[in-house]
Amino acid sequence: MKELIEYIAKTLASKPEEVKVTEVPGEEGQIILKLEVADEDKGRIIGKQGRVAQAMRVLLRVAAVKKDVRASLEIV
């Protein structure tokens, strides 16, 4: 899951070296993925009307189902 988000974010970012994904435990066994990017890449990662972030969340859900966990994505 982490690799998936990292791959997408690094491909989209103009500064891939500043992309950082950390997994943090959330409530009830949920996994929260915190995605950090350079300030100037934020718009690119979120997308118009949040479309990129939305698509990342949908794909993350598939990866989470395969691992039999619940996961959410936070862009910080």
| Site residues for another protein per CB under 8 A | 4, 8, 11-12, 49, 51-52, 54-56, 58-59, 61-63, 65-67
**4 or 38, CB closer to another protein?**
4
Side chain identity at residue 50, one-letter code? G
> What are the distances in angstroms from CA 72 to CA 14, 15, 17, 19, 24?
24, 24, 23, 17, 10
**10 or 34, CB closer to another protein?**
10
Query: Minimum Å distance from CB 22 to another protein?
Result: 19
DSSP single-letter state for residue 14: S
